[in-house]
Amino acid sequence: MTRVEPLRLGMVGGGEGAFIGAVHRMAAGVDGDWRLVAGAFSSDDGRNRRTGDLLGLDGARVYESLEAMLAAERALPEDERIHAVSIVTPNHLHTPMSIAALDAGFHVVCEKPMSLNLEEAHAIAAAAQRSGRHYALAFTYSGYPLIEEARTRVARGDFGAIRLVQVEYSQGWLSSALDREGNRQAEWRTDPARAGLGGCLGDIGTHAFQLAEHVGGVRVEALCADLTTHVPGRRLDDDVSVLLRFAGGARGVLKATQVAAGDENGLRLRIHGEKGGLDWAQMEPNTLTLRWLDRPAELVRTGGPGLADSTMARVRTPAGHPEGYIEAFANLYRAVAATIRGGDAVAARGSPAWFPGAADGVRTMAFVEAVVANAASDQKWSGLAD
């Protein structure tokens, strides 16, 4: 049997103390598909070097900037240089870094949201197109096995024509003014220059929107939005409510908030059609509840009987062994690796090679801009188009 070597990964951002960088590194390492070999983890040289040492990297491949990493890695022999760049910085750096990495000939895995605005999102998509490299976006919840099962059941018509899509993402961590109390994660997320047009909207509202369209198989064509900032002095929204009208007649509601005091990470999706519906919650991700108009409810379990092949491709452990956030994230990294190794033909076959990409990013940034514009106007409904 021919040994398959791990793909080589470089990371920008994610230095010591950064939450999401560590998550990306764990997820990339789960299947042995990736090996972190290079990084530019912080603009602070000491923090950058300490992170590289902690991760056991060769000091020569701990770079002072993304630009230095791209130049040095391109100069290495093809069998030594990185294959992809993982971008885990604040939002304002996503666009210049993504475009630079793509134009340098490297694949990209980027944190969401894609960019600060729709114009930037289109620029990234264009860079991916002209480079011929793959661009992946970390809409992590798409990687859960039972999200794939829910999507499959909706797509094959189990529930009939879709009528209702309800998605909520409820957190409470920004209920106080953490952004003015030295919390680094809160501070940049509430800064328009670094976070973009939306606070809660961009941070978790985009997750909710992407999941609703992805699983529901329906596209929002109009919306009516309300953005609120509850914490005095905060510069971006911390609470979002949106009514949704979907092509084909379905209706929906999206609620995202980061000031629901006491809530942890309450992402929940409910979809109903003519014959029944489904209910999935991220904090109990191994159960999918199916409810029917004319028969008792059913519980579908991760790894249990009756799951679609595309769902089982994302299952890692026997039924009853809980799988969670890191495993879902790892499914995305595994999908990117499979696509790089197998090309577009593998991606076209779907799971496990499917992953959110540039089209998802453009779509979510169009949503952000439409919500912000609608909430600021006296117009009741606004159209949504890419």
Q: Please identify which residue in the block is written with the tokens 């779509």.
A: 363
- 134 and 108 in contact (C-beta within 8 Å)? yes
| Residues 147, 321: Cα–Cα separation, whole Å | 17
SS3 237: coil
pLDDT digits 0-9 by tens, 313-370: 999 999 999 999 999 999 999 999 999 998 654 444 444 568 999 999 999 999 999 9
CA distances from 179 to 235, 246, 314 (A): 10, 36, 37
CATH 3.30.360.10 maps onto the chain at: 145-319+358-376
Token pair recorded at residue 375: 């909430």
The predicted pLDDT at position 2 comes to 62
pLDDT digits 0-9 by tens, 185-215: 999 999 999 999 999 999 999 999 999 999 9
SS3 300: strand
The predicted pLDDT at position 135 comes to 98
- 293 and 275 in contact (C-beta within 8 Å)? yes
CATH 3.40.50.720 maps onto the chain at: 7-140
- 64 and 40 in contact (C-beta within 8 Å)? yes
3-state secondary structure 37-96: EEEECCCCHHHHHHHHHHCCCCHHHECCCHHHHHHHHHHCCCCCCCCEEEEECCHHHHHH
**Counting runs of H as helices and runs of E as strands, what totals does the chain give?**
14, 14
- 124 and 115 in contact (C-beta within 8 Å)? yes
Tell me the CATH number of domain 7-140, given options 3.40.50.720, 1.20.1250.20, 3.40.920.10, 3.40.50.1100: 3.40.50.720
User: Which segments of the chain have a pLDDT < 50?
Assistant: 345-351
| Residues 174, 245: Cα–Cα separation, whole Å | 29
Fold of 145-319+358-376: Dihydrodipicolinate Reductase; domain 2 (3.30.360)
Q: What is the DSSP letter of 5?
A: P
Token pair recorded at residue 240: 């979002």
Sheet holding 162-170, edge to edge: 298-301, 287-292, 276-281, 266-273, 162-170, 251-257, 239-246, 220-228, 382-383
Helical packing angle, 358-376 and 206-216, nearest 10° = 120
